[in-house]
Amino acid sequence: MLPRIVRSIVVAAAISGIALQAMPASACPFCSAVQLTFSEEVAANDIAVIATLVERPEEPAGSDSSAPFAAPAGAEVAKCKFTIAHILKGEDKLGAAETFEALYFGQEPVGGQFLVFAVIIEDKPPAWKTPISLSERGVKYIQEMMALPESGADRLAFFQHYLEDADPLLAVNSYDEFARAPFAEVTSLAPRMNHDKLVGWVKNTEISSSRRRLYLTMLGVCGQPEDAAMLEEMIRSPLREHKVALDAMIAAYLNLRGPEGLPLIVDLFIKDVDAEYTDTYSAVMALRFHGQERDVIPKEDLKAAMRQMLDRPQLADLVIPDLARWEDWTVVDRLVELFKNADDTSAWVRVPVINYLRVCPLPEAKDKIEELRLIDPDAVKRASSSLLLLGGGKGNTGGTVKRPDGAAPEKAAEPK
């Protein structure tokens, strides 16, 4: 039998069918960043400045001043002239330069302020990128941002004040800062989170799903008992608009209710064969998050909840990798039966079953693989060729079978 630590590594490297790092500890577990943050842009470029537009090129006679004009064929496009107002990065590379020219086709008037980045290629002059228009508050935001610590709750405390800012540029950047922040840093902000604002945003059905996921995640770590009741009402609601970001909602609910909240989730989304696939999938994601990131619910309780999915063969592939990752070797016989009884409505379960058996330390596991090879040698072959790249890539589940409801099972990328 392999030592425990070695077995854990083997499990992480061998199980396919679900991305093992679906919710990495390095970022907000339910959030997806929209774009690079300003801080990341500053780090990625050689020069970053706040500049003032001082001169536009003359427009051709008769041109439409409300739209960028096109230069004649073969002619160089005229550039706008900017004066450097504040250097954020790259003072040594700018030298004595006080002005520069860059392409800008926006409609901001002369006197407007901009965030502008540039790169230095060999010994050539700075290559200036498209200027980003800033409001007066935007200028102040950028300057204060540059003085923040590189990480930690103090950094996030600044950005939380702009999460639903009237200036969309600041709102998007602040959301992306949270989406990229380690989850541990988000939780460390809990004592300083604006609880009442979070509750209002969670209740607001006009808020986008990505932002709602963040606010639910934050509410889950700073919430109060009455918030659990509010979330339960949403979880039970028949209205789809109340269930937007259900994965983060369930995770937050379980954070607040603990083990006592688990039966509700199991009954509504795991056991109920009539539950919508998207709802069941959201519940699985929330349980996986608790198993990987939190210690609010005992791992044995989470395993027991996941095992309930094995009674639904068409969706069992969602949880088999989790059971292997959590070293739950109590279901070998059940999985073998799932393999044997698989039909056109559950054929995709076979590769995850084989991969579970491949990493199972029990002596009978290898014998079970050989037994199943006689039934479907192709499935065993596909499982044996599954790869999971160490950098967090996904293994090939070896199948393209669609579920009867049209939803594709989680399928990883083909190995390169």
- Give 313-338 pLDDT, tens digit per residue: 999 999 999 999 999 999 999 999 99
pLDDT of residue 63: 52
pLDDT band at 11 (very low <50, low <70, confident <90, very high): very low
- Tell me, what's the pLDDT at 414? 31
Confidence of residue 60 (pLDDT cuts 50, 70, 90): low
Asked if residue 65 belongs to a domain, the reply is no
What pLDDT score does 27 carry? 66
Candidate from 58-67, 183-192, 265-274, 347-356 with smallest mean pLDDT:
58-67
Work out the average pLDDT over 197-201: 97
Q: What is the pLDDT of residue 29?
A: 83
Percent of the chain whose predicted confidence (pLDDT) is above 70? 82
Quote the pLDDT of residue 194.
96
pLDDT band at 34 (very low <50, low <70, confident <90, very high): confident
Please report the pLDDT score of residue 395 as a whole number.
Answer: 29
| Mean confidence (pLDDT) of the chain | 86
Average pLDDT in the 113-137 region? 95
Is residue 354 included in any domain, yes or no? yes
What's the pLDDT at 33? Answer: 81
361-413: pLDDT as tens digits: 999 999 999 999 999 999 999 998 764 322 222 222 333 333 434 444 443 33
CA distance 347 to 398: 11
> Is the pLDDT assigned to residue 260 strictly greater than 70?
yes
CA distance 139 to 145: 10
Residue 6, pLDDT above cutoff 60: no
Residue 338 located in a structural domain: yes
Q: Which domain holds residue 354?
A: 1-18+313-416
Q: CB–CB of 278/239 below 8 Å?
A: no
Residue 269 has pLDDT above 90, yes or no: yes
Residue length, the chain? 416
Whether 33 maps to a domain, the answer reads no
Q: Work out the pLDDT band at 64, boundaries 50, 70, 90.
A: low
Assigned domain for 141 exists: no
Whether 317 maps to a domain, the answer reads yes
Give pTM, 2 decimals. Answer: 0.82
d(CA 274, CA 253): 22
**Does the pLDDT of residue 279 top 90, yes or no?**
yes
For residue 370, the model assigns a pLDDT of 96
Residue 190 counted as domain residue: no
Instruction: Please report which confidence band the pLDDT of residue 106 belongs to, taking 50, 70 and 90 as the band edges.
Output: very high
Residue 401 lies in a domain: yes
Domains identified in the chain, total number: 1
